[in-house]
């Protein structure tokens, strides 16, 4: 009777370009494959060692999980011999699958759910889970061995304290905690952990109140950006011009700006499908010197051989996996944010300037010019008026005094 246990990278490519990592059990020359929590690009897999390369995120922890799965399978094969079970794949399967569920650790289960989100095309949610796992691993590396019972109230309070000590605000902490709660709820439904251990009866996420950060620029601050002498910061030109394009084009999202091609734009307008809501938006290009300067600049500044107006993607979006595309956009967005804040500092703007503030600035200035909220909602491509209202800055006391001075 011969048997072998091996972790392998299967040759069947998934829709996102990755390949599944499976546990292969071979008994008497017959094999059966079991899923692990991972799919991976071949460049992150060492075929000789059958493990992740050092370039894969959290590769040490992930390799430990794979090794643990392999060891569990080996133990079951030994039990089959010791207890005289029929030495077959069927016998192994009947013993292994219950163990597979029971022994799935908190992090392994988290990883599994992350990959399911990725496979279903929910890339942002999958990446949010990835970031939460990374934060948990930085907080307590030994969490790799934890089952769900160890994720209790004391653990959550300690995790929160750790995040605060590393300058994470209530909003960021709330994201990590909601993801952790979602995983715990899923595990309860899957009968992996009893609801008796549920820690969120005592740990209340709603206590984490995100302070309302002013995101919109004043009209005066926006004018400072419009008047900025770009010769003082040539590297910042691409970020500033992309920001102003977003503002003038009705607060166009960065992810949509990144994918806009020259062929999409005629002399006076363009249309696009908004990534977030899949709503088609038609945009008239304002006929002003600012927009002419912006478009002429990007006709000349062409660092990449692509058809995109803005130098955000360095190759066609179809050549990225969904996760790579999101990471590329996020990386450039962060870089543009740094460039914008250097410019804001040089202009004497006190508030933090993010690319996203172009969208809020468009909405707030539109409202102050008397454009009604329904029209602003349509321009932004929102599906709900409530979403639009969260974009609109509260009017200050001076604005209110002026507006109501001659009411009667």
3-state secondary structure 330-377: HHHHHHHHHHHHHHHHHHCCCCCCCCCHHHHHHHHHHHHCCCCHHHHH
Between CA 292 and CA 290 the distance in angstroms is 5
pLDDT at 7 over 90: yes
- Residue-wise pLDDT for 351-399, tens only, equals 889 999 999 999 888 888 888 888 888 888 888 888 777 767 554 555 5
Confidence of residue 407 (pLDDT cuts 50, 70, 90): very low
pLDDT at 257: 96
Lowest-confidence pick of 99-103, 181-185, 210-214, 341-345: 99-103
Helices (H), 211-318: 219-226, 237-248, 254-258, 289-300
Query: Residue 207 — φ and ψ, nearest 5°?
Result: -70, -20
pLDDT at 290 over 90: yes
pLDDT at 213: 55
- Residue-wise pLDDT for 296-347, tens only, equals 999 999 999 999 999 999 999 999 988 899 899 999 999 999 999 999 999 9
Confidence of residue 402 (pLDDT cuts 50, 70, 90): low
Most confident of the following: 50-64, 151-165, 200-214:
151-165
Mean pLDDT of the chain: 87
Between CA 61 and CA 311 the distance in angstroms is 36
Between CA 4 and CA 309 the distance in angstroms is 54
Residue 296, token pair as written in the block:
């002429």
- Residue-wise pLDDT for 224-282, tens only, equals 999 999 987 889 999 999 999 999 999 999 999 999 999 998 878 998 898 888 888 89
Name the residue with tokens 């539109």.
366
Partners of 30 in the β-ladder? 27
pLDDT at 278: 85
Contact 170/211 with Cβ under 8 angstroms? yes
pTM to 2 decimals? 0.61
Comparing 135 with 118, which gets the higher pLDDT? 135
pLDDT at 77 over 90: no
Q: Considering only CA atoms, which of 35, 44, 50, 55 is closest in space to residue 17?
A: 44
Between CA 181 and CA 73 the distance in angstroms is 30
Instruction: For residue 265, give the DSSP letter.
Output: B
For the domain made up of 219-404, the CATH class stated in words is mainly alpha
Residue 403, token pair as written in the block:
């507006």
Residue span(s) of the chain under CATH 1.10.443.10 come to: 219-404
Comparing 211 with 85, which gets the higher pLDDT? 85
Contact 255/275 with Cβ under 8 angstroms? yes
């Amino acid at each position: 009777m011969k048997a072998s246990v091996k972790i392998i990278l299967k040759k069947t490519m998934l829709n996102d370009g990755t390949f599944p990592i499976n546990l292969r059990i071979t008994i008497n020359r017959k094999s059966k494959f079991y899923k692990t929590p991972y799919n991976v690009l071949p460049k992150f897999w060492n075929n000789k060692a059958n493990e992740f390369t050092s370039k894969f995120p959290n590769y040490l922890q992930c390799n430990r999980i794979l090794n643990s799965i392999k060891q569990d399978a080996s133990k079951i094969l030994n039990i089959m011999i010791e207890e005289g079970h029929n030495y077959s794949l069927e016998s192994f399967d009947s013993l292994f699958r219950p163990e597979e569920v029971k022994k799935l650790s908190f992090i392994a289960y988290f990883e599994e759910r992350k990959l399911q989100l990725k496979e279903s095309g929910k890339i942002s949610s999958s990446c949010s889970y990835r970031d939460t796992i990374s934060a948990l691993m930085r907080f307590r590396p030994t969490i790799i061995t934890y089952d769900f019972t160890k994720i209790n109230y004391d653990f959550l309070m300690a995790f929160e304290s750790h995040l605060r000590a590393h300058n994470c605000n209530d909003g960021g902490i709330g994201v990590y905690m909601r993801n952790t709660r979602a995983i715990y709820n899923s595990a309860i439904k899957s009968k992996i952990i009893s609801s008796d251990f549920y820690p969120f009866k005592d740990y209340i996420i709603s206590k984490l109140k995100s302070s309302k950060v002013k995101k919109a620029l004043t009209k005066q601050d926006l004018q400072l950006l419009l008047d900025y002498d770009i010769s003082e910061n040539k590297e910042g030109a691409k970020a500033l011009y992309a920001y102003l394009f977003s503002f003038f084009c009705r607060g166009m999202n960065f992810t949509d700006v990144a994918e806009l091609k020259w062929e999409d734009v005629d002399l006076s307008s363009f249309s696009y499908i908004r990534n977030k809501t899949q709503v088609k938006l038609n945009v008239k290009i304002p006929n002003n010197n600012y927009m002419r300067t912006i478009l002429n600049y990007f006709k000349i500044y062409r660092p990449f051989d692509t058809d995109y107006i803005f130098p955000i993607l360095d190759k066609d979006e179809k050549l990225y996996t969904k996760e790579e595309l999101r990471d590329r956009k996020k990386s450039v967005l962060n870089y543009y944010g740094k460039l914008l804040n250097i410019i804001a500092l040089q202009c004497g703007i006190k508030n933090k300037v993010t690319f996203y503030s172009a969208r809020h600035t468009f909405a707030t200035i539109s409202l102050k010019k008397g454009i009604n909220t329904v029209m602003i909602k349509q321009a932004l491509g929102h599906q709900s008026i409530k979403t639009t209202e969260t974009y609109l800055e509260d009017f200050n006391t001076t604005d209110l005094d002026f507006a109501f001075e001659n009411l009667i």
